[in-house]
């Protein structure tokens, strides 16, 4: 695959010539005509979700409450934050690599917004750490993967997929990177989210949980964004789409997610057990695969064991169609209904 040119005088930006990848764009963001109507709806939603961590109050109370958590809860709190920090960090770095090959300006615009949101998430974790934990613990949390082999193995798996795409941008590596991104956004975060929701359900660390709920709201839009990108590639370039790769990568991701969550949470926290972790991860994987019309990998996992925690996430429950729900969480701007009025 060839990178997009910064400026291509011989490009063709007409609607008929556009493609999700491998188009011949001039490099100009012509947003008065769009080939992918879903991008307009997503733009309005993502812009409307603007927030900044400084506006989220109550972390000082969490700092006091953190000291009253059990040693097991504190370890899980630190470990889950470490993994989430890695995920958003690698997303911020890698998303421009996708933009180099996406030739739809309206979709590239969404990727730019996503990059900004991932940076906000990184700032959010820094704000949590700065307020809640002692200074001596912060670097330990950021670099926990250096001493924890389970976390290091997880980080290496997704890091190697992204690095392979950057080093060798073949169609195969591009597709694997897309699926890796989808797995990261749609599966890897969610046992961590469930852990923080579980604390809030027990009236613990409520400000951290509020921050996490805003992050989850953003991540769900990223799930929908990459679902649409992958579906468009399947429609326009069916030879690139490989369902066997999707299924194989999902199997690895589910296994890693369960191993990691059992390692960092296990059975030591009320409301979460190894059994619920396994069932939830498998149930969620089935729901994500359904977004591509792929049969469940785990037909026995039909129930969300954390259904009672959905109220912690407001309307951000794991719906296969995000636009079925109306986001009611904190926002700082309107949805900019006048934008992209074609």
What separation, in Å, do the N-terminal and C-terminal C-alpha atoms of the chain show? 32
Contact status, residue 244 vs residue 150, Cβ threshold 8 Å: no
- H or E element that contains 8: none
Task: Report DSSP letters for 157-224, one per residue.
Answer: HHHHHHHHHHH---HHHHHHHHHHHHHIIIIITHHHHHHHHHHHHTT-SHHHHHHHHHHHHHHHHHHH
Chain centroid to Cα 294, Å, comes to: 20
Active site residue 125: yes
273 closest CA partner among 299, 305, 297, 301: 305
DSSP 8-state secondary structure symbol assigned to residue 102: B
Burial of residue 167, with CB atoms counted within 10 A of its CB: 0-12 exposed, 13-18 middle, 19 or more buried: exposed
Q: Considering 66, 77, 101, 125, which one is annotated as catalytic?
A: 125
Torsion of CA 301, 321, 215, 97, to 10 degrees: 100
CA distance 196 to 182: 22
DSSP line for 132-166: HS-HHHHHHHHTGGGT-HHHHHHHHHHHHHHHHHH
Could you list the beta-strand ranges (E) of the chain: none
Helix 171-183 / helix 243-264 crossing angle, nearest 10 deg: 40
Distance CA(312)–CA(333), nearest Å, equals 22
Which of the residues are catalytic?
Answer: 125
């Amino acid at each position: 695959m060839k990178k997009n040119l910064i400026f291509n005088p011989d490009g063709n930006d007409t609607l008929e010539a556009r493609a999700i990848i491998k188009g011949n764009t001039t490099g100009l963001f012509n947003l008065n005509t769009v080939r992918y109507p879903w991008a307009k709806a997503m733009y309005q939603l993502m812009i409307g979700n603007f927030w900044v961590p400084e506006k989220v109050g109550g972390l000082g109370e969490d700092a006091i409450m953190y000291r009253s958590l059990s040693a097991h809860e504190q370890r899980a709190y630190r470990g889950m934050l470490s993994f989430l920090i890695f995920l958003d960090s690698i997303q911020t770095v890698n998303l421009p690599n996708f933009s180099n090959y996406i030739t739809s300006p309206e979709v590239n615009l969404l990727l730019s917004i996503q990059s900004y949101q991932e940076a906000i998430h990184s700032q959010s974790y820094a704000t949590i750490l700065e307020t809640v934990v002692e200074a001596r613990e912060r670097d330990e949390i950021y670099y926990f993967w250096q001493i924890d082999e389970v976390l290091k193995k997880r980080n290496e798996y997704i890091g190697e997929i992204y690095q392979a795409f950057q080093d060798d941008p073949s169609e195969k590596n591009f597709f694997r990177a897309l699926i890796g991104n989808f797995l990261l956004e749609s599966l890897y975060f969610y046992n961590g989210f469930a852990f923080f929701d579980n604390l809030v359900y027990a009236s613990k660390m409520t400000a951290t949980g509020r921050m996490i709920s805003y992050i989850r709201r953003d991540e769900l839009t990223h799930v929908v964004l990459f679902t649409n990108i992958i579906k468009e590639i399947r429609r326009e370039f069916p030879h690139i789409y490989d369902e066997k790769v999707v299924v194989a990568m999902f199997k690895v991701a589910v296994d890693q997610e369960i191993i990691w969550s059992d390692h960092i949470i296990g059975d030591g926290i009320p409301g979460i057990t190894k059994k619920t972790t396994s069932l939830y991860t498998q149930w969620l994987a089935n729901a994500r695969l359904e977004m591509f019309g792929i049969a469940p990998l785990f037909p026995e996992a039909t129930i969300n064991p954390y259904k009672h925690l959905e109220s912690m996430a407001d309307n951000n429950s794991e719906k296969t169609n995000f636009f079925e729900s109306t986001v009611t969480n904190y926002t700082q701007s309107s949805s900019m209904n006048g934008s992209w009025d074609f």
